[in-house]
Amino acid sequence: METEHLFYSQMHFAMLKIDDEAKRRVINAPAINKSSSKKFKILGEYGRADEYEAPFTAIGKGTYGTVYLAREKKTGEIVAMKKQVHGLSSLREIDILQSLVGRPWFVEFKQVVVDERKDDDDHVYVVMEFVENDLKRYMDGMAWAFAEDEVRCLMRQLLEGVSFLHRNGIMHRDLKPSNILVNDNWGLKICDFGLSKRFETKFGSHSRRVGSLWYKAPELLDHGVERYSCAVDMWSVGCIMGEMLLDQVLFKGTSEEEQLQMILTKHVDEDKFLLVSEEGIHLLKSMLDLDPHSRITADQALNHEWFR
């Protein structure tokens, strides 16, 4: 089999200043010196990249790394391998993925593997289950929009996953169709936790440089806002729901300023949702409430009459 070389980037964990959160949750070890023979002790237990045949092809690009298809040599299982390129965010992503193992709404984390090289250009990859499709590609291949019952099926799974994240102190911060995997049995799994972050009970200041423009909550587009909550994820979920119902992006700005203007002027035009039930429109509006304090939560959404 002809293959191209997968392992081509480097990750310098030892050069990073790891924050206290990542230290507590991931390492329990001092900073690693580049001359140390245990350069990746910071990752805990890890496997070897040569346990896999790779690559077949690039299948996607996450926030902080390209995702490739590979095959585990021992079992023959096809897996996805994400090349890690940003140290601190990668540690957080690995930490969160490990904490979600066994939960049906998230891509399954398998292990971290390292390609240790003599030239010290060691490469790190996160190995995950391979899921056949993502929601964006799924919708791009459809001739028409989902039926409302189909949207309801997918939305229930998405909200269950988001509810689990929020109840366990995690904001995803980059929910969009390409970060939602869908298998052949309509099972839904959330992926790409590169921008995700754990939060304390009280929300403090967070970076606004998160999310993808078309799915970004208005409070993230307001340059004067320094604090935000899980409500940013619920806005993204509302945008995804509307896109599935219409088969088109709700707010398609080309800049943050234009995006915010479109949200404020267009918002939810009910004339576009003529085939959607009154309950469905009510839920959609509740997720796209401009005020994050009154925006519906994931738990509340799951109890909405649209699902009864």
- Res 23: pLDDT: 37
Q: Which residue has the tokens 């979920």?
A: 237
pLDDT of residue 246 exceeding 90: yes
Rounded to the nearest 5 degrees, what angle is found at the Cα of 281, between the Cα atoms of 229 and 256?
Answer: 45
Query: Any catalytic annotation for residue 289?
Result: no
Burial of 226 (0-12, 13-18, 19+ CB in 10 A): exposed
Indicate whether 38 pLDDT > 60.
no
Mean pLDDT, range 46-71, rounded to an integer: 80
Its sign, for the CA torsion 26, 28, 31, 35, is negative
For a pLDDT cut of 70, what percent of the chain falls above it?
A: 76
Average pLDDT, the chain: 81
Largest CA distance in the chain: 65
- Report yes or no on 138 lying in a domain: yes
If pLDDT is split at 50, 70 and 90, which confidence band does 302 have? very high
Domain boundary among 110, 129, 148: 129
16 to 96, 117, 118, 200: CA distances (angstroms): 19, 19, 21, 24
Whole-number Cα distances in Å, 249 to 76, 133, 246, 274: 38, 19, 8, 17
Q: What percent of the chain has pLDDT over 90?
A: 56
- pLDDT tops 70 at residue 202: no
Range name among 12-21, 141-150, 217-226 with the lowest pLDDT average: 12-21
Say yes or no to pLDDT of 136 above 60: yes
Count of domains observed in the chain: 2
Pair (138, 185) in one structural domain: yes
Per-residue pLDDT tens digits for 260-270? 999 999 888 88
pLDDT at position 4 over 50:
no
Same domain, yes or no: 173 and 188: yes
User: How does strand 65-72 pair with strand 78-83?
Assistant: antiparallel
pLDDT of 207 reads 56
Shared domain check, 293 and 168: yes
What are the angstrom distances between the C-alpha of 211 and each of 62, 112, 198, 235, 302? 12, 25, 15, 11, 23
Last residue of a domain, one of 82, 114, 129: 129
pLDDT beyond 50 at 218: yes
- Angle ∠(193,148,287) on CA atoms, nearest 5: 50
> The domain containing residue 48 runs over which residues?
13-129
**182 shares a domain with 84:** no
Judge if 299 and 150 occupy the same domain. yes
List the catalytic residue out of 174, 192, 233, 289.
174
Is residue 215 over pLDDT 80?
yes
Q: Is the confidence at residue 28, as pLDDT, over 80?
A: no
pTM: 0.81
Q: Mean of the pLDDT values across residues 99-116?
A: 92
Q: pLDDT-based confidence at 20, cuts 50/70/90?
A: very low
Across the range 133-156, mean pLDDT stands at: 94
Dig out the tokens for 135 from the structure: 């929601």
Q: How far apart are CA 231 and CA 183, in angstroms?
A: 27
pLDDT at 180 over 90: yes
The reply to whether 219 falls in a domain is yes
Q: Is the pLDDT of residue 193 over 50?
A: yes
